[in-house]
Amino acid sequence: MTMPNFEELEPVERVLVVVAHPDDVDFGSAGTVAKWVSEGSIVAYCIITDGDAGGFDPGIARTEMPSIRQREQTNAAGILGVADLTFLGYRDGELQATIGLRKDIARKIRQFRPNRVICQSTERNFDRIYASHPDHLAAAEATICAVYPDARNPFAFPELLAENLEAHTVQDVIMQASPNPNCYTDITDYVDNKIRAILEHKSQLSNPEETAAFVRGWVEASGAEVGLPKGRFAETYRRVITG
C-alpha cells in the first residue's frame, strides 16, 4: 500500500530529460527511463555541459574528458534504449541560467515536442547536498523557464520560429533529487539496468562496487519512503503540472 501523498507516475508518449552533466540522468532517473522505454515511451536526452570538470584521475587531460564522458553517456543511454542524445557543450562548473541556455533548451523542446520533461531540482537539498551542485540548480532553473514560458510562447525567441520550430506546451515536469517529492516510479524490475548504466561512467567512479551498493540501498530507501514493500525500489520526483 503506497502512502496517499505519493502519486505513482504513469508513462507518457514522449519524454525529454534535461540535465547538467553526463551521468546525472543515470543517477537520478535511469530506472524510470528503462521502465518507460520498455512500456513504449520515446525518450531523448539533452546534456548541457561537457563534463570536463569531472573525474578522479589526474592522468586524464581535461581536454580529453568531454569526449570520454560523451561516449560513456551514449553507452549508458543505449543500455536503457535511448538513442536521441543532444550535447550542448557548456563548460562544466560554470553553468548559469542565462537567456542563451533557456533558448537552447527551448529549441530542443520545440524540436522533440515532449509531453513530459525530467529535470533536476530548482530547490537546494541540504540533506543530499551533492545533488544540489550549482550546475544542477542552474540547469533546473533554465529548464523550468524554457518549459514555461519560453517553449510555449510563439513570441519568445522569434529566431526559433525562423528555424520552423513552432511553440510547444509541455504537460508536466518532474524534478529529480527534489527535497519535497510527491511522486515516484517503481523501478524494481529495472534497478539492474540503472546500475549498469551508472557503471558505464567509468571515468567518474573510483570504486564501482561501492557505488553500485550505495545506489541499490538508496533506491530501496526511496521505495520504503513511498510505502513500497521491503525489497522494492523507487525513484522519487517532484511533479509540477505545466500544461
Return the higher-pLDDT residue of 127 and 114.
114
pLDDT value of position 2 = 45
Cα–Cα distances (Å) from 70 to 55, 73, 189, 219, in that order, read: 13, 5, 27, 25
Query: Is position 5 within any domain?
Result: no
pLDDT at 6 over 60: yes
In this prediction, residue 4 has a pLDDT band, given cuts at 50, 70 and 90, of low
Distance from chain centroid for Cα 226? 20
Count of structural domains within the chain: 1
pLDDT at 204 over 90: yes
Query: Is position 134 within any domain?
Result: yes
Cell of 7: 502519486
Residues 6+ apart with CB under 8 A from 57: 203
Query: Is position 78 within any domain?
Result: yes
Query: Is position 145 within any domain?
Result: yes
Supply the CATH number for residue 204's domain. Answer: 3.40.50.10320
**Whole domain around residue 197: which residue ranges?**
10-241
Query: Is position 226 within any domain?
Result: yes
Q: What is the mean pLDDT of the chain?
A: 96
Query: Is position 220 within any domain?
Result: yes
Query: Is position 1 within any domain?
Result: no
- pLDDT 10s digits, 15-47: 999 999 999 999 999 999 999 999 999 999 999
- pLDDT 10s digits, 105-123: 999 999 999 999 999 999 9
| Angle between helices 99-112 and 134-145 in degrees, nearest 10 | 60
pLDDT value of position 79 = 98
pLDDT value of position 131 = 86
Cell of 240: 509540477
Query: Is position 4 within any domain?
Result: no
- pLDDT 10s digits, 133-174: 999 999 999 999 999 999 999 999 999 999 999 999 999 999
Cis peptide before 149 (omega within 30 of 0): yes
Q: Tell me what percent of the residues of the chain surpass a pLDDT of 70.
A: 98
